[in-house]
């Protein structure tokens, strides 16, 4: 299942190719956040956009911890609550926050849309010198 804990295992193992290969051609990825402070906030499109996002992500921050809390499914939509602790590389600050990943899966079982709802206040603090 594209939105199961396997997806997060692939991410943790660095198997980003498996994730990228399972997005629809019209895939849209939205990461909430202050675009003026962090390069990873914004809208990314298609597999190329997701590749660019991952490349940018790992130049901006690293993960100390990531814990899945709940999976809620409603038709083609899956919402995943999580807690994370990241280190912002530019400032060295450690940011701990909760968030929600919301997926829409198409009829082919591919990710069609992904939206990350983050604690934008904490993220802004982490990226501010």
Q: What average pLDDT does the chain have? A: 90
- What does the pLDDT look like over 58-105, one tens digit per residue? 999 999 999 999 999 899 999 999 999 999 999 999 999 999 999 999
Residue with the two structure tokens 């939205």: 30
Cα separation, 129 vs 122, whole angstroms = 13
Phi, psi angles (nearest 5°) of residue 92: 80, 0
DSSP calls for 29-81: EEE-S-TTT-TT-EEEEHHHHHHHHHHHHHHHEEEEEEEEEEEEEETTEEEEE
């Amino acid at each position: 299942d594209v939105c199961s804990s396997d997806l997060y295992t692939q991410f943790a193992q660095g198997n980003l190719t498996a994730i990228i290969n399972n997005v629809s051609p019209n895939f849209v990825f939205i990461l909430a956040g202050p675009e003026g402070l962090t390069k990873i906030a914004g809208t990314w499109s298609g597999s190329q956009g997701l590749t660019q996002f991952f490349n940018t992500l790992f130049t901006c921050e690293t993960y100390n911890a990531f814990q899945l809390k709940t999976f809620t499914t409603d038709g083609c939509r899956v919402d995943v609550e999580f807690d994370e602790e990241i280190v912002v590389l530019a400032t060295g600050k450690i940011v701990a926050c909760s968030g929600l990943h919301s997926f829409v899966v198409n009829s082919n079982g591919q990710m069609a849309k992904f939206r990350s709802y983050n604690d934008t206040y904490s993220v802004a603090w982490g990226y501010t010198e």
